[in-house]
Structure 1
C-alpha cells in the first residue's frame, strides 16, 4: 500500500469540494462523528464543521492518500506564544484502520511541531475511543487534563474529553 501525505486547505475551493464529499461519507455514522467532534450533532453538516474549527487560518490540514483516494485526515494548530501545538481531527477511513495510518499521520504532525520548535504537542480524545487512546499512549502521550474531573458542570465542548500531551523537548 503506497500512502502519501498531502497538505489541503479549507480555503481552497477544490479541496473544500473533495473534503466535503469525503467527510460527509465518513460521518454517516453518528458514533464516528461524536468520537471525533462531540460539539457536532448528527447528521453531519460540512458548513458547521468548517465554522466550528476551520475558520482559523492557523490550522494546517493534511490528508493521507492511497494513490488518489483520501483514506485519512489530520490537522494541527501552532501557538507560537507558548510553544504548544495541538493535533486535532485525526481520522482514518474505517476500511483502512489497523494499518499504521493514524501513526503515520501523527508522526507527520509531530514532525511539523518539532520543526517549528514547539515544546508540547497536545490532543483531545473522548474516553470511549479506546483504540485512539492506546495509540496515543504507545506514541508517548500522557494524560494532561481530564475535563470530566476538572470541569464537571461545564458546557465546554471538551467536557468529558481527555487532553493528552507529549513533551517534545
Structure 2
C-alpha cells in the first residue's frame, strides 16, 4: 500500500465512507447524514498546517487521514482517519496510521498525538498496535475540557517490536 497526497477528485468517494451522522461529524465537523451535498467537493478545510492523505491499494483509495501541525505546541496530531467500510476489520486502519506516521515524524515536531472516541475499540486497537499509548488521565481530562465529546487521547511512543518493547 502507498500513502499519497489527497486530491479533490476523491472527495465524493471518501465522503461516501461515512456511514452515519457520527462518522460524518468526525470527518467534516458537520452532523448531517448522509454527507451534506454542499460539502461533497469541498468538505475538507484547506489550511497550510493541515495535510491530507489517501492510502492506496494499487489504484484504489482505501483510507483517508490528516496530519495537523501545531508550531505553537510543537506537536502533530493525526486526525480524521477513515477507512473504506468494505475493508474495515482487515488491518487497513493500522496500516494507514503507520503510513501517516512517516510524514508526521518527518515534520520534526517533538510529539505526535491522536484522539479517538472511547467506544471506537477497533481504532484504539489499531493505534496501540502502531505505537500509541494513552496520555495520563489528568492530561486527558484537561485536554477534553471544552471538547464537544470526551476523547481518549494517545501519544506516539515508538514502534512496537516483537518482544513487546517500544522503539522510538
TM range (shorter): 0.7 to 0.9
Alignment TM-score, normalising by the size of structure 1:
0.74
Looking at both structures, which has the greater relative contact order when contacts are Cα pairs under 8 Å and sequence separation is at least 6? 1
Structure 1 residue 81, shift from structure 2 partner: 4.2
Q: Select which of 40, 47, 55 maps to 2:39.
A: 47
Determine the structure 1 residue equivalent to 2:156. 166
Instruction: Determine whether 1:140 maps to 2:134.
Output: no
Question: Which structure 1 residue ranges, 5 or more long, are not aligned?
Answer: 9-14
| Residues 119 and 167 in structure 1, CA contact (< 8 A), matched pair in contact too | no
Alignment TM-score, normalising by the size of structure 2:
0.75
Determine the structure 1 residue equivalent to 2:68. 77
Structure 1 residue 131, shift from structure 2 partner: 0.7
RMSD: 2.8
Kindly tell me: are residues 26 and 129 of structure 1, through their superposed partners in 2, closer, same or farther at Cα, counting changes over 3 Å? same
- How many matched pairs? 154
Determine the structure 2 residue equivalent to 1:11. none
Q: Select which of 53, 63, 70 maps to 1:62.
A: 53
Between the aligned partners of 1:150 and 1:28, the Cα distance in structure 2 is 25
Structure 1 residue 41, shift from structure 2 partner: 0.8
Structure 1 residue 139, shift from structure 2 partner: 2.3
Could you report, residue by residue, the CA deviation over 1:68-126 in whole angstroms, capped at 9, with x for unpaired residues?
22211011022234431110011111111233222222112212222222221111101
